[in-house]
Amino acid sequence: MKPAAAPTEDADSTDQAEQPSVGREPATDARSLFRPIAWMTIGLWALNFTMITTAGLIAGAERQLLRGGLRVGLAVFGIGLCFAMHRLIVLSPPRPFLRRALLTLGLTFCAALIHLLANEMALRSVGIGVPLTRDVIALNVIFYGFWAWFFLAWAALHLAIDYSDQVRRQSEEHARIVIAAREAQIRALRYQINPHFLFNTLNSLSTLVLDRRTADSEHMIDRLSAFLRTALDDNPADETTLATEIANQRLYLEIEQARYPELTVDLDIEAGTEQALVPIFLLQPLVENAVKYGRFNAGHPMRISISARRRWEWLEVAVINDAPETVRSRGMGLGLSNVRERLRLRYGKEFELNAGPAAGSTFEVRLSLPLTVRA
């Protein structure tokens, strides 16, 4: 999803084109893992070196100084293997924890074999190695088992630290979602109950009263009170069904239709998507955006279309409005970037938001969200 033109004008309103996201897609923070992994790795290899050296001294093996130097070199090589495994694990594409555990398990057996071969080559390079016989091969199999268990111990600690870090980051992300949701509520109220909206609505209402259109004025008051009640009562950190979200937008659009009789609204909601869960008031900035810029098409009827479709495991929602070329080619302000940020915080990378001019002098905003249906 590439940003369109640079942001322009009206910072308090939603604009028609797409601007760069306010945040970055979440990614595994390798730096947050490096320090605990480094200390754990160095500690394990130091313990391994101490135990093997102690065993050699007790056994009275020959050429202990040379063997000690080799053990230091092999320990450094082993630490390098562990850090290479760490980089492969952390920099691999995001995957479920079980798959990451299986990847780590496979790497441990490869690392054990590499370290065993390095150990054998180091011994032979200084003339300590022995000819390969069946007994020596059997002993090497036992050594491989030892190194496999050693690297498995490292992998288990790595997974524990990794899992703990994931839980911590998820907790922080959840806190960010709550904060962003509260900020989104404030922004939604600013969009929905801003002075211009209230002034224009009350002005239209006073006109209905003066014209003695009692039924129309009562209907408008009823729609306005229901809309404000919904905006104030709903918790923006929650999700709601698509049917409820559409109903909320219909309340808003009925108020706008009283102000702009030429406004028509088309709803095309595919059967079975009504119970799909979406963030509360997700569509409000998009619908307000469509109304605002649809008014620039002077001399023509205003038409807004809201559709929803199921695409395999995705919910696809589109908001389309008529708009002249001068409006369709503008940059955008806060509206779509706020929607994008809410989706990013809730879904991570698992969403798409595309906005831009469409066929027939229209402007289209299309969302693709993971499909979750209320039981």
Question: The domain that contains 270 carries what CATH number?
Answer: 3.30.565.10
* Rounded average pLDDT per 10-residue block, the chain, 375 residues: 38 42 41 82 89 78 72 88 85 71 85 86 74 76 87 87 82 82 63 64 82 83 82 68 91 83 90 90 84 67 90 92 62 69 83 84 90 82
DSSP label at residue 350: S
Q: Which two tokens stand for residue 296?
A: 């620039």
Q: Are residues 108 and 84 in the same domain?
A: yes
> How many of the other CB atoms lie within 10 Å of CB of 205?
19
Q: Are residues 65 and 120 in the same domain?
A: yes
**The residue to which tokens 């009170």 are assigned:** 225
pLDDT at 233: 66
How far apart, in Å, are the Cα atoms of 61 and each of 58, 126, 262?
8, 15, 96
Domain count for the chain: 2
Q: Are residues 167 and 196 in the same domain?
A: no
H helix or E strand, kind and range, residue 251: helix 242-259
Q: Are residues 107 and 249 in the same domain?
A: no
pLDDT at 332: 53
Residue 347 near residue 367, CB atoms below 8 Å = no
In a domain, 117, yes or no: yes
Q: Are residues 189 and 121 in the same domain?
A: no
Q: Select from 369, 336, 80 the least CA-distant residue to 239.
A: 369
Calpha distance 274→238 (Å, rounded): 17
Domain boundary among 172, 204, 234: 172
How far apart, in Å, are the Cα atoms of 196 and each of 193, 204, 262, 269?
8, 12, 20, 31
pLDDT at 367: 94
Q: Which two tokens stand for residue 16?
A: 């028609």
304's CB contacts (< 8 A; 6+ apart) are 253, 263, 264, 265, 266, 287, 290, 291, 294, 319, 320, 321
Q: Are residues 78 and 150 in the same domain?
A: yes
Q: Select from 29, 27, 10, 28 the least CA-distant residue to 19.
A: 10
Structural domain of 77: 30-172
Q: Are residues 218 and 323 in the same domain?
A: yes
Q: Are residues 218 and 356 in the same domain?
A: yes
Q: Are residues 366 and 242 in the same domain?
A: yes
Q: Select from 231, 227, 344 the least CA-distant residue to 281.
A: 231
Q: Are residues 192 and 136 in the same domain?
A: no
Calpha distance 337→366 (Å, rounded): 14
Alpha-helical (H) ranges within 92-213 are: 97-125, 134-192, 195-210
Residue 216: what residue type? D
pLDDT at 31: 65
